[in-house]
């Protein structure tokens, strides 16, 4: 049997109970160890709250932890996710953008609850914060549509999370509210100010060609070529783009625990070479 020269694997996209994952940062770190991962980035939506517990847990398990986040932005009226890596976790520009997103989410969740209420589905804000079990203090947690979907199922208003999105809270559905929007450019700027790199998340999910084309003109440093359960040749197209643009190649599972049971931690990853390229690129921003 041919020995693989290197068993290094880095999963650079996963969520914890600090946003819409079902597992705590400590549990995610245990799962990373079990999955044989060498490096991990926790990329919660619009928050870095998980890092307080993730940093000691990573040290305990000997996992290399790369600072990460997944910011929500809007381009051409459509939601676009941007991954940030390697930035300073306590940089004021990052913390300020996270605080603005927390305010956006609160207003938007209340507006969505109001719309659901009008259709006879009444939920309290506590139903959302309790929807995904957490030990973490609620400060700094990003609450959003997955929490609403869980709560709707729990209350018996819909049967599945998917049905909640399809009937009520998916983009364009009657109870969907976008809320304040943050642009791609300002989000990339914030990540750069905090000495990090900005990466297009899961381009595989972008359906509109014009949107992708506009995104490819932006000041990104990398693109998430390997994503979730997308098989085989699905990444070739993105690797070609990365090469053409001279962008970094990233990848990860987008693990959410029970919220996305088909995407196990480590189901998508990058090897040592692209991971080292990310680390090597970081000082350029300092
Ligand atoms: P939010 O940030 O509150 O807008 O919620 C966005 C998250 O909801 C995404 O990251 C997905 O994890 C999840 N999501 C979006 N659309 C769907 C869908 N159709 N079914 C299940 N989950 C979804
Ligand atoms: Zn999510
Ligand atoms: Fe995403
Ligand atoms: Fe994600």
The superfamily CATH assigns to domain 10-98+192-285 is Metal-dependent hydrolases (3.20.20.140)
Is the pLDDT confidence value at 123 over 80? Answer: yes
pLDDT tens-digit map of 219-246: 999 999 999 987 666 889 999 999 999 9
Token pair 């990052």 in the structure block, residue: 94
Structure-token pair, residue 115: 């719309």
pLDDT tens-digit map of 52-110: 999 999 999 999 999 999 999 999 999 999 999 999 999 999 999 999 999 999 999 99
What average pLDDT score do residues 164-186 get?
96
Interval between CA 26 and ligand 2 midpoint (Å)? 18
> Which ligand lies nearest to the CA atom of residue 160 in the structure?
1
Distance of CA 180 to the CA centre of its chain: 19
Of all protein residues, the one whose alpha carbon is nearest to atom 18 of ligand 1 is: 165
Nearest alpha carbon to residue 89 among 43, 134, 138, 58: 43
Inter-axis angle of helices 92-118 and 184-193, nearest 10: 140
Structure-token pair, residue 112: 């969505």
**Domain parsing of the chain, residue ranges:** 10-98+192-285
User: Which H or E run includes 167?
Assistant: none
* Alpha carbon distance 83, 14 (integer Å): 11
DSSP 3-state assignment of 72? strand
CB 253 within 8 A of CB 268: yes
Q: Which mutation among 20, 146, 170, 256 tests ligand 1's pocket best, with the greatest number of atoms within 8 A of CB?
A: 146
DSSP bridge pairs for 222? 199, 248
Average pLDDT taken over every residue of the chain: 92
pLDDT score of 199 = 98
Is the pLDDT confidence value at 165 over 90? Answer: yes
> What's the count of helices (H) and strands (E) in the chain, helices before strands?
10, 8
C-alpha torsion angle, residues 97, 102, 105, 106 (rounded to 10): -150
Structure-token pair, residue 149: 């979907």
Of all protein residues, the one whose alpha carbon is nearest to atom 19 of ligand 1 is: 165
pTM for this one? 0.94
pLDDT tens-digit map of 20-42: 999 999 999 999 999 999 999 99
C-alpha dihedral sign at 90, 91, 92, 97: negative
């Amino acid at each position: 049997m041919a020995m693989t020269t290197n068993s290094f694997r880095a999963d650079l996209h996963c969520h914890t109970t600090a946003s819409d994952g079902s597992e705590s940062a400590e549990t995610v770190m245990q799962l990373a160890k079990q999955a044989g991962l060498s490096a991990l980035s926790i990329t919660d939506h619009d928050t870095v709250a998980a890092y307080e517990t993730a940093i000691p847990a990573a040290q305990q398990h000997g996992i290399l932890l790369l600072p990460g986040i997944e910011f929500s932005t809007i381009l051409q009226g459509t939601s676009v996710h941007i991954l940030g890596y390697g930035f300073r976790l306590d940089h004021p520009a990052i913390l300020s953008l996270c605080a603005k997103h927390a305010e956006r989410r609160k207003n938007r969740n209340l507006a969505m609850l109001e719309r659901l209420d009008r259709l006879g589905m009444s939920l309290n804000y506590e139903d959302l914060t309790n929807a995904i079990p957490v030990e973490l203090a609620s400060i700094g947690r990003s609450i959003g549509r997955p929490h609403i979907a869980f709560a709707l199922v729990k209350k018996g208003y819909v049967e599945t999370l998917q049905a909640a999105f399809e009937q009520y809270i998916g983009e364009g559905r009657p109870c969907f509210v976008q809320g304040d929007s943050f642009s791609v450019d300002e989000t990339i700027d914030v990540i750069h100010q905090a000495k990090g790199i900005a990466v297009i998340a899961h381009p595989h999910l972008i359906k509109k060609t014009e949107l992708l084309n506009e995104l490819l003109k932006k000041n990104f440093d990398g693109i998430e070529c390997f994503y979730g359960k997308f098989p085989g040749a699905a990444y070739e197209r993105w690797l070609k783009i990365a090469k053409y643009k001279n962008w970094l190649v990233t990848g990860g599972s987008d693990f959410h625990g029970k919220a996305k049971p088909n995407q196990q931690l480590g189901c998508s990853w990058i090897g040592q070479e692209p991971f080292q390229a990310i680390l090597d690129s970081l000082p350029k921003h300092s």
